[in-house]
């Protein structure tokens, strides 16, 4: 019996050391059960968007798209000073960039496929979704072959034919190339699900416009609008 308890203590000690090593050395590359990584993975599974106003600030601080995305890889979330209740939820994430500590806010409207990255301003508890201007798409769900779904009905089929849309792959290509969110025409607080108004530039003077929602882990395009020149 004495040997049993001795082996049990040794096992527990080794297990504890292993947990500590995993937490400190691999916490940003695994252990999805950790609260911080659950939040980060949720953001990484969305389309990250930067508004025009925030883009100007990021440019002033020389923050590139890859730098912004890296906050979700090895940045630190401050849960105590984040907005964890209400809609949208907003998380304060800090990371060292070029030798300086930088803080960004990552906002996620409930049941939306977009998440907005913003430069901190005012109170995080009073943060509201952006409602004007355009937002540039800078990140898309990784390791997903297709995240676009085109609603299958007679109206959509007619619209696709009219606007020269072939399939989901074409839409996904345009999104990754130069996709934009029109905040002024989006309804991020709509019920039962938010509506995001997407702009897909195809060539000069030709922008495809669509109303979309988040449906079963896919971006559902359910209505294309008149393809008028900008």
DSSP codes, 68-83:
HHHHHHH-EE-GGGSB
The region of weakest confidence among 5-14, 39-48, 148-157, 185-194 is 5-14
In this structure, of 5-9, 169-173, 183-187, the range with the lowest mean pLDDT score is 5-9
Q: What average pLDDT does this structure show over 1-7?
A: 59
Q: What is the pLDDT of residue 209?
A: 96
pLDDT for 64: 97
User: pTM of the full predicted structure?
Assistant: 0.84
Q: pLDDT, tens digit, for every residue of 65-112? A: 999 999 999 999 999 999 999 999 999 999 999 999 999 999 999 999
pLDDT at residue 31 in the model: 62
Is there a cis peptide before residue 91, judged by omega within 30 degrees of 0? no
Q: What is the mean pLDDT of the chain?
A: 89
pLDDT tens for each residue of 131-184: 999 999 999 999 888 999 999 999 999 999 999 999 999 999 999 999 999 999
Whole-number Cα distances in Å, 123 to 58, 108, 119, 154: 19, 16, 12, 47
Residues with Cβ within 8 Å of residue 45, at least 6 apart in sequence: 141, 217
Average pLDDT over residues 1-25: 54
Adjacent-strand bridge partners of 95: 102
pLDDT band of residue 205 (cuts 50, 70, 90) is confident
In the predicted model, is pLDDT for residue 130 greater than 90?
Answer: yes
Look at residue 30 in the predicted model and tell me its pLDDT: 54
What tens digit of pLDDT does each residue of 25-39 get?
A: 444 545 666 889 999
Check residues 163 and 7 and name the one with the higher pLDDT: 163
Residue 189 banded pLDDT, cuts 50, 70, 90: very high
Considering only CA atoms, which of 176, 177, 182 is closest in space to residue 210?
182
- Per DSSP, the residues of 187-200 read BTT-SSS-BEEEEE
């Amino acid at each position: 019996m004495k040997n049993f308890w001795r082996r049990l203590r040794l096992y527990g000690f080794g297990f504890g050391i292993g947990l500590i090593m995993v937490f400190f050395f691999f916490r940003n590359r695994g252990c999805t059960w950790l609260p911080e990584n659950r939040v980060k993975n949720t953001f990484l599974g969305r389309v990250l968007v930067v508004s025009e106003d925030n883009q100007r600030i990021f440019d002033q601080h020389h923050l590139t798209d890859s730098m912004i995305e890296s906050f979700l890889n090895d940045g630190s979330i401050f849960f105590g000073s984040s907005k964890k209740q209400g809609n949208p939820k907003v998380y304060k994430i800090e990371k060292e960039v070029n030798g300086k500590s930088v803080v960004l806010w990552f906002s996620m409207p409930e049941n939306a496929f977009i998440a907005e990255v913003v430069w901190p301003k005012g109170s995080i508890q009073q943060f509201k979704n952006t409602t004007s201007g355009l937002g540039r798409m800078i990140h898309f769900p990784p390791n997903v072959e297709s995240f676009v779904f085109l609603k299958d009905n007679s109206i959509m089929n007619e619209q696709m034919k009219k606007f020269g849309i072939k399939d989901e792959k074409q839409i996904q290509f345009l999104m990754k190339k130069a996709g934009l969110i029109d905040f002024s025409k989006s309804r991020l607080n709509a019920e039962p699900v938010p509506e995001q108004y997407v702009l897909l530039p195809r060539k000069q003077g030709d922008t495809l416009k669509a109303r979309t929602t988040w449906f079963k882990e896919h971006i559902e395009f359910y209505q294309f609008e008149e393809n008028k020149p900008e």
